[in-house]
A = this chain, B = another copy of it.
Amino acid sequence: MEITVVKIGGNVIDRPEDLTVFLKKFAALPGNKILVHGGGKMASKFSAKLDIPTKMIDGRRVTDSQTIGIVTMVYAGLINKTITAQLQSYGCNAAGLSGADAGMIKAVKRSPYPVDFGFVGDIPTDGVNAGLLMKFIDMELVPVFCSITADGQGVLLNCNADTVARSIAGALSFSDAAVRLIYCFEKQGLLSDPNDDNSVIPLINSDNCEKLKNEGIITSGMIPKIDNAFEALNEGVKEVVIKSYFNLDKTDSGTIVVNR
């Protein structure tokens, strides 16, 4: 079975017109597919409206008891159902899910040491119920995942959406699916010059990756994404692509990450 896992970040979600362009392209993507979405920007806006301060450490949201309520509302509620309803209108049989639903993704609350991120979860290797997810795909459903998960003990946890996408792609690969993982974001791909959209690095492998990191071309903001990409490849994912969400339908665009 071939499956494409696509992840979109919070910036596109915050721009309804761009989101519509992307979702139409996603709906038209042939074959089995899964969408994973973030939503951090909207959660921050919403927290501000409620006078709940947003606290980030190393780009990760500190999720206290109030904030887990907010992100559950925004990610699993508003964003997930808006995307799902819109995809349905484009003929794509989307089914919005959190990791809590049907125990699809069981996460583990992160240790409060050295940094207490609160209700933040990490996904263990066996965290994704790939068998059940495959059944959903067999039923020709298109799962749309937000990054809210649960620990199996009734506690909701906020996970990183890039990691959710990678964990899903990895677990499906382990179940013998041929999985392609696409990280969609604002830029055309990984750029050698951040100010030049035409400077896309077409291919990153373990050889040139270190060099690009040392030269400062892979900057701190991109490192988690690249590391996730290599982890996905190590977990058996066939191909990882980092590209613009406007180019989802263009096969020859973006940066391909390979393991050799």
A242 in the interface (beta carbon within 8 A): no
Task: Give the size range of A's interface with the partner.
Answer: 35 or more
The segment from A1-9, A77-85, A214-222 found at the interface with B is A77-85
Bound complex: CA of A202 vs CA of B110, how far in Å?
51
Interface assignment of A230: CB less than 8 Å from any CB of chain B: no
A 124-154 binary contact with B (CB < 8 Å = 1; else 0): 0000000010010001010000001010111
In the bound complex, how far is the Cα of B132 from the Cα of A93, in angstroms? 12
By a CB distance below 8 angstroms, the chain B residues around A100 are 81, 84-85, 88, 96
Measured between beta carbons, the chain B residues less than 8 angstroms from A93 are: 102-103
Say whether, besides A74-B77, A77-B73, A78-B77, A150 and B102 are in contact (CB < 8 Å).
no
9 A–B contacts from the bound complex (CB under 8 Å): A50-B50, A72-B78, A81-B148, A82-B156, A85-B150, A88-B152, A93-B102, A95-B97, A96-B100
A14 within 8 A of B: no
CA distance A94 to B88 in the complex (A): 23
Those 3 A-B pairs whose CB atoms lie nearest each other, nearest first: A77-B77, A89-B154, A73-B73
For the complex formed, measure the closest distance between the CB of A103 and the CB atoms of chain B, giving whole angstroms. 5
Residues 28-79 of A at the B interface (beta carbon under 8 Å)? 49-50, 69, 72-78
Interface residue A98 (Cβ < 8 Å from any Cβ of B): yes
Q: Does A212 belong to the interface (CB within 8 Å)?
A: no
A101: which B residues are within 8 A, CB to CB?
Answer: 81, 84, 94-97
Closest B residue by C-beta to A144: B101
Q: Given contacts A88-B152, A95-B97, could you give 7 more A-B pairs where the C-beta distance is less than 8 Å? A: A72-B78, A72-B81, A77-B77, A81-B98, A84-B101, A86-B154, A89-B153
A155 to B82, CA, bound (A): 8
A76-B77, A77-B78, A103-B93 known; A88 vs B50 contact (CB < 8 Å): no
Q: State which of B82, B102, B152, B154 has its C-beta within 8 Å of the C-beta of A141.
A: B102
Q: How near does chain B come to A85, taking the closest CB pair, in angstroms? A: 4
Which B residues lie within 8 Å of A141 (CB)?
102
